[in-house]
Amino acid sequence: MSRAVVALGANLGDRGSTLRAAAAAIVALPGVRPVASSREVESVAVTLDGPDTTKPRYRNAVVVVDTDLEPQELLDALHGIEDTHGRTREVRWGDRTLDLDLVAYDDLSLDTVTLTVPHPRAGERAFVLAPWHDADPDAVLPGVGPVADLLERVGDDTERVDEPRLFDEPTRASRPETSDS
């Protein structure tokens, strides 16, 4: 099993219901088991030109899962969930009903035509880092550093939403330390 981190975002429609339905769909995928989830946060929309307060605000969250799926298989399944929720890809960084990003997959570093992990901008985005830190306070962005340190560096400009976590955590998110005894 591999550990994967998925960021969820939506700024159109019933954002909270969409995030909860997407989280449920992710953990219902064959070969995927829930580990941890964040509470939702709100953030200003980010476009190619930067933050845009005239756009609808985003709801964001993170789920941590264990999976038997390979990274590209997981990404393809995430795209299927996006499609089910009416996601279109007409405008890069445009408004969306649902955005699912594979942020990290174990300590893997991968850069293909369709997938880059860790996500190349995850360490710069409070709307990814804040919910990830909420889901897993000991998380590390592979090749970059502890999520808590990255969040401190970029500053947390997100607003907490008064909703429960996306799903109940069956286990602690960070893998336990192992000893060579």
Candidates 152, 129, 124; CA nearest to 139 is 129
Is 175 noted as a catalytic residue in this protein? Answer: no
**What architecture does CATH give domain 2-160?**
2-Layer Sandwich (3.30)
pLDDT tens, 62-119? 999 999 999 999 999 999 999 888 766 665 666 788 999 999 999 999 999 999 899 9
Q: What is the DSSP letter of 32?
A: E
Is 99 noted as a catalytic residue in this protein? Answer: yes
148: part of which helix (H) or strand (E)?
A: helix 147-154
pLDDT tens, 115-172? 989 998 999 999 999 999 999 999 999 999 999 999 999 999 999 999 889 987 655 4
Under 8 Å between Cβ of 115 and 4? no
Rg over alpha carbons for the chain, rounded to the nearest Å, is: 15
Spot the catalytic one: 3, 15, 59, 101. Answer: 101
pLDDT at position 86 is 74
Spot the catalytic one: 3, 20, 59, 99. Answer: 99
Is 15 noted as a catalytic residue in this protein? Answer: no
Spot the catalytic one: 3, 96, 125, 165. Answer: 96
131: part of which helix (H) or strand (E)?
A: helix 126-135
Task: Write the CA distances from 40 to 16, 31, 68, 111, integer angstroms.
Answer: 8, 25, 26, 29
Is 20 noted as a catalytic residue in this protein? Answer: no
